[in-house]
Structure 1
């Protein structure tokens, strides 16, 4: 039977996620970091990279929401909820940094959320081990992506760097937790497809 309160709460969350409105449960790791002097080109580069990171967190919310909703295990549902709460911190931190940089979140956030939710639902329907494997591979690719951003961010942008570094730590922990819970290996063709989709997303979200 449909629970109207849960439905309203779910819709409210989706609206907040795609619009860039989120609340962090942990302090922003960049809160006490001085804002460096960035020229206009550096500011645009930081904004583009942080917009990509924000889109990644929109997708993470969708994935964990879907995987939790369709998981067969109560233990996994709890794990996905916990990981989702930590990812919401990332969502709030990246949105705040975009505002500080005088920029905005991606205009395509509803599209990114819908696509990621569909992928998460499919992964969960296949089976819990496969769903966990999807998390492991996703977090592995995200870790590599964040590593690249630590190189690409302007040297003076220590605030963005502090956020990305904490995000990287959390993503590694999420992948390790999923592995410990019995993740199945993700087939190589699926890994390749995930990388291709991520490339489209990151390239587009940098600008739009």
Structure 2
């Protein structure tokens, strides 16, 4: 949880460039995770349509942040090539373990993203209504993804608490790194 000292003081402008950089990186990573899952599961698996639908929403999120970053002159993270490979690998590995592990991956990541977006909205307050509204809309869809994953067997994955914990830790590290680099 973000400490109160991390929130901007009155009159302090939040670092929206850093917010957009990390959000775009996260949405890009999500598209790569789903690409890896779909590559392993194929389009005939019953979960594929569900995953493809979530992937399409993540692609929309990424394109929105891409546009906002261009309009505002914000550079992307230099870690993007790493997130490309790491996201795809995470998706492929979890899908290879099984559909429940693929759903566990989604549930873990979306749990962290919900927390992350809530912190950003708190930091933004009413300093940047466009960004705040965008984050709120995307946060609602990320919560839907988490709930969908949980409803489709995420918690039945082998060693779910360990798998989810490791993925959540990795997600938190990716957020911190992408915001700064």
TM-score of the superposed pair, with normalisation by structure 1:
0.73
Secondary structure at the counterpart of residue 75 of structure 1: coil
Cα distance in structure 1, aligned partners of 2:90 and 2:121: 28
Report the CA distance between 1:77 and its aligned residue: 1.2
Cα distance in structure 2, aligned partners of 1:116 and 1:188: 20
The answer to whether the 8 A contact 1:65-1:80 is kept is no
Residues 160-199 of structure 1 aligned to structure 2 (within 5 Å): 160-185=131-156, 187-199=160-172
- Where does residue 31 of structure 2 map in the other structure? 61
- Where does residue 207 of structure 1 map in the other structure? 180
**Is residue 97 of structure 1 aligned with residue 68 of structure 2?**
yes
**Is residue 147 of structure 1 aligned with residue 104 of structure 2?**
no
For residues 2-61 of structure 1, the C-alpha deviation after alignment (integer angstroms, 9 at most, x for no partner) is xxxxxxxxxxxxxxxxxxxxxxxxxxxxxxxxxxxxx9x837x10101110111111100
For residues 54-82 of structure 1, the C-alpha deviation after alignment (integer angstroms, 9 at most, x for no partner) is 11111100111111121275221111111
Secondary structure at the counterpart of residue 192 of structure 1: helix
Unaligned segments of structure 1, at least 5 residues: 1-38
Higher relative helix content: 2
From 44, 48, 73, the counterpart of 2:18: 48
Cα distance in structure 1, aligned partners of 2:173 and 2:155: 26
Report the CA distance between 1:185 and its aligned residue: 4.5
* Number of equivalences: 168
Q: Structure 1 residues 63-72 or 179-188, which shifts more?
A: 179-188
TM-score of the superposed pair, with normalisation by structure 2:
0.84
